[in-house]
A and B are shown apart, each in its own frame.
Chain A
Amino acid sequence: MTAQALQQRDLAVVIGLEVHVQLETDTKIFCGCSTESADDEAPNTRTCPVCLGLPGALPVLNEAAVEAAVKVGKALDADIAEETRFHRKNYYYPDLPKNFQITQYDAPICADGALEVSVEDDRREIGIGRAHLEEDPGSLQHEGGSIETADHTLVDYNRAGTPLMEIVTEPDFRGPGEVRAFLAKLEEVLEYLGVFDASRDGSLRIDANISLMPADEMADDGSVDEAALEAANRTEVKNISSHKGAEKALAYEVTRQKNAVERGREIEQETRHWDESRGITVSMRSKEEEKDYRYFREADLPPLQVADWKERIPIPELPDARRERFREAYGLDAEAAAKLTSTKEVADFFEDVADRFDAGLAATWVADDLLGELNYRDMTITDVSGRLDEFARLIELVDTDEITEKNAREVVLRTMLDEGHTPEEVVEREGLGKAGDDAVAAAVEAAIEENPDAVEDYHDGEGGALNFLVGQVMSKTGGSADPGTVNGLLRERLDE
């Protein structure tokens, strides 16, 4: 379509994604090297002959990576292949140890799936064409500049061989907001499956294909004609690494392309690089000829039969289902249910305490108090993973009336987070334990003795007198007595 022809028509945005996700496994996909990178790790130390691609080394498939992929397939409601089959994708690039990548080609482990996302109040189903397993290349370090200007480039193979899943969506997105919602949902699902760690550097890499199409060529149901899409000039945006980044990069692209069309300029078919720090996309190379990867079967990896893995491998309840269940089972409102299922760890913790103590109390404590205080400190539940027990005990102290809710929230929880103490330590140190029965009884006796006027007023039927006496008892016990109990004890004693 010429620029002029586009200029005169309303434009619709069509986006498809290729999402590379690092799968969380203990070891790399084809060797025994760890996937866990230490912060101060030296380059090329977490390697072996296999992931270095040394002559003679052979890949051996890590079944844990296949298991993780099957879980993803189940969560995306995809068809799972009967057997794994790997191909070599041949191309020369300095970060590729063997100058080919072992990947899946004609028989991806997952095909034909979908993920439903909510965008504002709209439910949208995004088709997943395929999702396949492959190995991550190494990483390049351009010394003294960018890829264009560097004096030389160093190669680090520590990352090489990390299991990757490439998830390819259908061109089902009609705007950057949908892309963001989809990616956030995908991350959430992957995290629930326990196959993904968003905090890991490079754990999510996104390439987006974006085309502007005449709006009248879109079908009424929003679907897009394949031939028309083929005919539109497509821009591939690379180097996106988060759902927020994806929304920004694509919003930038939509504006850039619409401006180009308005000015009567052709949109070039090209690859662009998202420059996160500058917030713009930059042309990498224009109209490069179609790459020929010369795919062929990887004979070193015999097929692994996985026909029954879909049955065999369980996946946890996914976030949408869990939200629904929480609302029903615990009587939560939508907002609380959403908060309490925001990550699997939060949901598991809530469910644990809700089942042990009062569910309403648990919901308030987890959704509002714990998450609120964490959020205030720029922390998430993963930062206190090892201390969930302590928080459960704090809720228990409240549930069993051993400390007041106010003290638990304002003193104990905050001190626990700020100083790292256990709830018992804080209670002990601050003397927050509710006063013992004897102490309360003694305080009641003392209050009656010391305030004969108030006692008389009480007997005369003056309502304020009892409250005054309760206040006296509370002050004598340093606020650690339960006001309801004090009230009862006073009445009992005065009515004798």
Chain B
Amino acid sequence: MSVDAFITEETIQGADDGPLADRTVAIKDNISTAGVRTTCGSEMLADYVPPYDATVVERLKRAGATLVGKTNMDEFGMGTTTETSAFGPTKNPVDESRVPGGSSGGSAAAVAAGEADVALGSDTGGSVRCPAAFCGVVGIKPTYGLVSRYGLVAYANSLEQIGPLAPTVEGAAEVLDVIAGPDERDATTREAGADADYASAADGDVEGLSIGVPTELIEGADERVIERFEATLDDLRAQGAETHEVSLPSVERAVQAYYVIAMSEASSNLARFDGVRYGPETDADGNWNDSFAQVREEGFGDEVKRRILLGTYALSAGYHDKYYAKAQDARAWLKQDFDEALAEADVLASPTMPVLPFELGESLDDPLQMYLADANTVPVNLANLPAVSVPAGRADGLPVGFQLIGSAFGEREIIRAASAVEN
């Protein structure tokens, strides 16, 4: 039975050979595909067909991959469950009464259900790692600047990266090898890490690896999650890794800072959807402001409207300093805290999600509960660092994700550690 992982199922054939020649890839529907509609899970873009390929899509095609479709997602990436999609929810293949996580829920579900070998998602505050954890697959959020965002429809452009999802760490790393590296069309990409051969790092060798465990990211998590997390740490220690506690005092501000920044950027990034070129036909009369408002009223869902309104507010004169500027300060402190913690450890570890997958419908009425579930993932985006979520067994039959966070462009370390978790 289908888990409704796809918004559009369409095969796009890549080059005849290449490193991904035998692989099928599902693409999150906020990544532009020339000639194939790219909806971002929104009514606003229900008919939008990009005239160009995202850089990552070009690279996948050149690597011989076969693209099999565009996957469901929370509208414009705004959600943790894939339920805010205008195209209806996706079910968790592990337990169809549960959400697959989000916002790249369709990509994770497609991989977990075997409907694609691997997938691309995008991670603004956990949107690759959360669904990877909930669906029991591997998801990598690369260092900001490792993977080109050209063609990724922006939600919060200072925070997000495109990242792979796959059944195994090595599988995800193989995709990362294809998509990583500088792109002259994305000025925020860097040379660093371009030719790192990530797949070869998945050797499971953690002998002597130093793992810092931020106490703040354990507190408050579901006990069943903590139990799986501790068992995984035991296992890594048994393989020769060393663990110790570290502290990230500023993470207590991370969720607030994250939402202020993400919503502020979103209010600007989504401004272009005004009915001139995108969006539903409306019967608005009056001036163009009335018409813009009507299109946005009809084209955006509630969560998107909520975030645009809050973001607009946070950037407004008189509030900018109180919210946006403060959030930027918090972001700077958080980066410092991570730098210090990573000076004492090769990688950091935490549960990916502090909770088990929600029941379908459970969190929709309580946005705050949904926002707080991002507590362990958003700090990574604020600090521009790489992280991976790798399955750490199940609790009550539901997948638990184990998160490893690395230094900037330290993808090889987290891939190596994550592959040991698979052992």
Contacts and interface: CB of A to CB of B under 8 A. Distances in A.
Pair from one complex = yes
A55 B51 contact: no
Given A55-B40, A56-B50, A296 B324 contact: yes
Contacts of B316: 292, 294
A27 B264 CA distance: 31
B170 interface: no
Interface in A293-325: 294-297, 299-302
B50 A55 contact: yes
Interface stretch (A91-99, A177-185, A369-377): A91-99
B271 A98 contact: yes
A155 to B, nearest CB: 7
B188 to A, nearest CB: 6
Interface in A35-50: 49
A49 B186 contact: no
Contacts of A153: 288
A100 interface: yes
Interface residues of B, number: 42
A61 interface: yes
A309 B261 CA distance: 33
A300 B183 CA distance: 13
Given A54-B52, A294-B320, A90 B149 contact: no
Contact of B268 (A59, A97, A296, A301): A296
Contact of A58 (B40, B185, B312): B185
Given A54-B52, A98-B271, A92 B188 contact: no
Contacts of A301: 187
B187 A55 contact: no
Interface string B101-131: 0000000000000000000000000000000
A296 B264 contact: yes
Nearest to B289: A92
Nearest to B186: A58
A127 interface: no
A376 to B, nearest CB: 49
A388 interface: no
Interface in B15-71: 30-32, 38, 40, 45, 48, 50-52, 54
Contacts of A294: 267-268, 312, 315-317, 320
A295 B319 CA distance: 12
Given A53-B272, A155-B276, A300-B157, A94 B288 contact: yes
B45 A55 contact: yes
Contact of A302 (B50, B152, B153, B188): B188
A60 B148 CA distance: 13
B180 interface: no
Contact of B32 (A55, A155, A297, A302): A55
Contacts of A300: 157, 186-188
Contacts of A100: 268, 271
Nearest to A290: B317
Given A58-B150, A294-B316, A98 B272 contact: yes
Interface in B265-324: 265, 267-268, 271-272, 274, 276, 278, 288-289, 292, 312, 315-317, 320, 324
A62 to B, nearest CB: 11
Main secondary structure of the interface of A (DSSP, over half): loop
A54 B54 CA distance: 12
Contact of B184 (A60, A98, A296): A60
A53 B157 CA distance: 14
Contact of B271 (A49, A58, A92, A155): A92
B258 to A, nearest CB: 14
Contacts, number: 96
Contact of A55 (B267, B272, B289): B272
Interface in A407-423: none
Contacts of A58: 149-150, 185-188
Contact of B150 (A56, A297, A302): A56
Contacts of B158: 297, 299
Interface string A94-110: 10011110000000000
B151 interface: yes
A104 to B, nearest CB: 16
A57 interface: yes
A98 B153 CA distance: 12
Contacts of B271: 90, 92, 98-100
A28 to B, nearest CB: 14
Contacts of B312: 294
B151 A56 contact: yes
Nearest to A61: B187
A100 B51 CA distance: 22
A92 B274 contact: yes
Interface in A369-425: none
A58 to B, nearest CB: 5
B154 interface: yes
Interface string B183-216: 0111110000000000000000000000000000
Given A97-B272, A296-B315, A56 B320 contact: no
Nearest to B38: A55
A56 B153 CA distance: 4
Contacts of A88: 268
A49 B151 CA distance: 9
Nearest to A50: B185
Contacts of B288: 92, 94, 153
Interface string B137-166: 000000000000111111001100000000
Given A98-B272, A292-B316, A296-B264, A54 B150 contact: no
Nearest to B184: A60
18 contacts: A49-B50, A55-B278, A56-B32, A56-B149, A56-B150, A59-B187, A60-B186, A61-B187, A92-B289, A92-B292, A94-B276, A97-B272, A153-B288, A294-B267, A295-B315, A296-B268, A299-B158, A301-B187
Given A94-B288, A294-B315, A301-B187, 13 more contacts: A49-B52, A55-B48, A55-B278, A56-B152, A56-B154, A58-B188, A88-B268, A98-B271, A100-B271, A296-B264, A299-B188, A300-B187, A302-B188
- Top 3 nearest A-B pairs (CB, nearest first) are A99-B271, A299-B158, A294-B315
